[in-house]
Structure 1
């Protein structure tokens, strides 16, 4: 399906100055600045309340505006106002947050507004947050608010956009007040996620059940052209009110970037052309052929194409290409469905099976051969630089195939098929089914898992599919095992430990792990700020994860990032998915580079 904006949006080049004004025949047309990008998986529907995959979130954070966003340069990550005029006023008891919304923020044009210019109000944020409670949407972000906003039980019992919620009110046109049942140290982080981007009720109701096909926001970009799972074009929003402000540290490059951009209107480019590039080789070759302006996270299987002895190859450095390493707030893990009849359950035999699977995983081989050294071993769900991370914590579950074999023998898996594979304790054939992505990288991971599991006598078959389809099936509980990853929505341990919280089963908790001892500690930790008391609870939660093994924690990525010399203002952010609004393109330098390569890009 191909979607286009209305005629009003097609006036974009005139509105934003892409062409010389009429009446100036001697002037040259300004060259349009185009940022060329890719997404590694297909997007899903562009509805902030529903989407949870990285590809779609990358688009949403450029189309929709939450109240807050992250400072581009501050490290560690820090929030700053976005559509809010300032950071909120917080009551002394930590329960009440009052936001003043900047006047003059407009939704992009849509027929739902019947030709009127539609301004954002506090009531729009009330509506947008309420949508997360809509049971028909099954929002994976509802956990951020359910049971936390004062009086939201009325909304949970009987959802409706007009159901009053005492703790969620528009006091006046531009004043929003949110009151909580209990203090939540991460609450402001939630208000910087794409899920809380403001939407207009008229648009949602104009396209029942199809809001994801009609993204109408207030962000720095708006949708231009959309050919599903193939190509997306974002156009600079001529009504964007975003202005650059940032807080650089002592880094000289950051300080220079801040000085050059301070107070300037965003975005800096006229359009972003995005392709879907699911194959690693296609991404790498596309970057090297200058089809993409930067590439974040060199594909593991492609590292040797660009890196030699840990450094960028000289011939690429001579082209001005830059390699940088970045510690991503990301955890790779393999989860097992606790409701699955083969690997699920809390009995000793099923715990033994999952622990043996965990002990069979060869982390060193994964890092050396698949990730080419661009990763570190995951000891727990938390990656470095996330609040709550304990650098001294070590997993009590080692890589030990011999011990894994002994454990299986002891707990009823000793009988074997004629081909040497183990049978279940009831004597029936035992086959594990692991979903995997239908990519080169997915196949390489399949082979590593096959090798590891076969070493302890476990037969495994792989079911390949697109990641978006696997996610859908995971939410329905029909996937047995899958190697996945989580990138922080906000830089706090809560964002990772909620992935195993029982009430989140069917949402982000794909393993459907539901252990009262874990749930209790998670709920206690959620009420605490970072410190020794919360650290103790996190330690105990780690121990429970390793005792029951719903996950096999795998790695934390050290991203190898590449960028071309004509890309300006680039700095990788630890939380936000993209930096598109800040990036600029030196069109002349790009053209010179193309001539130097004998190309015409």
Structure 2
């Protein structure tokens, strides 16, 4: 593997003159850079946490990619780029990875980033005392003893990670995992500063306490207002980092966010449902739609707190069949999204969409079958099914919920809408399991189908509907040792279509307005990862 070499450069300040920025290796020769190297973007909801071991949201992961850095980053096509790992060795049995770390990486307090920081971070993630909802990620990576450690059956010291020396981090797996390194770009696998966490406890991520190893440091975090990041002088590749400030502004009303973009207050915003065609016509160089490896669905609560009706597979199928995905995609969203009949996104690497019968039915056939199944289950005009649809605050989520409410009314279901702020919604979804039907979305943690399917296993912390299926679990376990797991993924999707623990609705596209002077945002990466360190603002 090739080492990434930093190119030395100096920014000069001359009396009264504009700054001359370092000519980053990300900036094409001859590019005229703006004097103001800042970037401001929109958040649907405020970040819940900036702790890599506690985050569970996509927007949180995006923020953590700027503040922290792990063994690898990604490039525009999703290929791995060495970050803190300059190279690695793989044992003959393909179960032991030995990563050699760069020696010039530092925390923002000047301390070196060492292998022990990775050991501490991964051990803390697995530790039941941390109560991380992403502890299961180590289990998905097949780290040796992760299952027993996460379940509290073995001490954290038994986790298959060790520091051979300050700059050699070794990971032992319990089985060969071909996509293991691809999983290492998620913030859950990043190092964290042990002495800072031990000193400040759960207050360690406050701006005055936090220590980071990424291209940016946390300047301010005004909850509900803004998060401001500043370029880090201690980052190992600071010479090739052009943007000096990154600001995230949470705005729950997407239409208001668009107005603020048009007023020049934001450099990037998600386009509200239905407005992409108009904006693409008016602003062809700013409106973009790209495949995005996420799936939008309605999850059914089949657990102890869920309604009895949803424990009947006929009811779950009827609810799924009753959703007109074409209307949602073509009439409401209008941004390049695709109707979903599988949980796994169609653009996932190596994934072949299986033949799901109801995907081929006409809308009329699906509606007729939905009514038939509800009648068989004992529901009809004299005994209507009553359900709550829970979603987090968003005008787009509301539009879809209202549409589904009407679709279900047509098949004899009375649905009411429950709208909650993001933090309350997450708590009801994942902690209390207090919902009937919940809007949910899943974005890939790595570009392989298991990132979607494993979330529905009985041992997954993300299985908020508490659906447990022994056959599905067995198939996903078999996939871990299969020479080619794609046939197992097909079986798993077919089981989901037959048992319907959730109703897939659409596969995402990333539909944004982006300031035409902001460059370096990836346009081919289906994970839609982005790194401010690779971005820059051109002059007007």
Q: What is the match of residue 299 of structure 1?
A: 272
Q: Which has the higher contact order (CA 8 A, sep 6+)?
A: 2
Deviation digits for residues 75-107 of structure 1 (CA, Å, limit 9, x no counterpart): 3x2212110112x21111110100111112111
Tell me by how many angstroms 1:285 deviates.
1.5
- Select 2:536's aligned residue among 584, 588, 591: 584
Q: What is the match of residue 91 of structure 1?
A: 91
**3-state SS of the aligned residue for 1:208?**
helix
**3-state SS of the aligned residue for 1:577?**
coil
Tell me by how many angstroms 1:143 deviates.
1.7
- Select 1:502's aligned residue among 455, 458, 480: 458
- Select 2:68's aligned residue among 60, 64, 67: 64
Q: What is the match of residue 49 of structure 1?
A: 53
Determine the C-alpha separation between the residues in 1 that align with 2:129 and 2:309: 29
- Select 1:528's aligned residue among 478, 482, 495: 482
Q: What is the match of residue 376 of structure 2?
A: 410
| Residue 224 (str. 1) matches residue 219 (str. 2) | yes
Contact 2:522 2:529 in 1 (8 A): no
Over aligned residue pairs, what C-alpha RMSD do you find? Answer: 2.5
Deviation digits for residues 243-291 of structure 1 (CA, Å, limit 9, x no counterpart): 7xxxxxxxxxxxxxxxxxxxxx332111112211221112211222222
Contact 2:65 2:187 in 1 (8 A): yes
**3-state SS of the aligned residue for 1:431?**
strand
Deviation digits for residues 464-497 of structure 1 (CA, Å, limit 9, x no counterpart): 1123321121112112211221111100000000
Q: What is the match of residue 465 of structure 2?
A: 511
Q: What is the match of residue 141 of structure 1?
A: 134
Bigger mean CA deviation after superposition, 453-462 or 560-569: 560-569
Tell me by how many angstroms 1:235 deviates.
0.3
Q: Write the mapping of 1:383-394 to structure 2, written as runs, cut at 5 A.
A: 383-391=345-353, 393-394=355-356
Q: What is the match of residue 78 of structure 1?
A: 79
Tell me by how many angstroms 1:322 deviates.
3.2
Q: What is the match of residue 435 of structure 2?
A: 479
Determine the C-alpha separation between the residues in 2 that align with 1:366 and 1:241: 46
- Select 1:463's aligned residue among 402, 408, 418: 418
Determine the C-alpha separation between the residues in 2 that align with 1:410 and 1:151: 46
**3-state SS of the aligned residue for 1:536?**
helix
Determine the C-alpha separation between the residues in 1 that align with 2:115 and 2:448: 28
| Residue 337 (str. 1) matches residue 330 (str. 2) | no
Evaluate the alpha carbon distance shift between residue 216 and residue 544 of structure 1 in structure 2; reply closer, same or farther with a 3 A threshold. same
Contact 1:336 1:343 in 2 (8 A): no
Deviation digits for residues 178-223 of structure 1 (CA, Å, limit 9, x no counterpart): 1111111222122221111111111111122334435421000110
Determine the C-alpha separation between the residues in 2 that align with 1:373 and 1:132: 37
Contact 1:336 1:344 in 2 (8 A): no
TM-score, normalised to structure 1, is 0.79
Deviation digits for residues 160-194 of structure 1 (CA, Å, limit 9, x no counterpart): 9x953363111111111111111112221222211
TM-score, normalised to structure 2, is 0.88
Deviation digits for residues 109-136 of structure 1 (CA, Å, limit 9, x no counterpart): 2xxxxxxx31111111000000111213
Tell me by how many angstroms 1:324 deviates.
3.1
Q: What is the match of residue 598 of structure 1?
A: none
Q: What is the match of residue 281 of structure 1?
A: 255
Determine the C-alpha separation between the residues in 2 that align with 1:28 and 1:493: 49
Contact 2:268 2:512 in 1 (8 A): yes
Contact 1:375 1:555 in 2 (8 A): yes
| Residue 150 (str. 1) matches residue 144 (str. 2) | yes
Contact 2:289 2:335 in 1 (8 A): no
Tell me by how many angstroms 1:501 deviates.
0.7
Q: What is the match of residue 181 of structure 2?
A: 188
Deviation digits for residues 27-67 of structure 1 (CA, Å, limit 9, x no counterpart): 45564411121212111111001111122111111111111
Deviation digits for residues 509-566 of structure 1 (CA, Å, limit 9, x no counterpart): 122211000000011112335x3xx222222212211111111011112333332232
Larger Rg: 1
Determine the C-alpha separation between the residues in 2 that align with 1:163 and 1:325: 44
Tell me by how many angstroms 1:440 deviates.
2.0
Determine the C-alpha separation between the residues in 1 that align with 2:376 and 2:255: 45
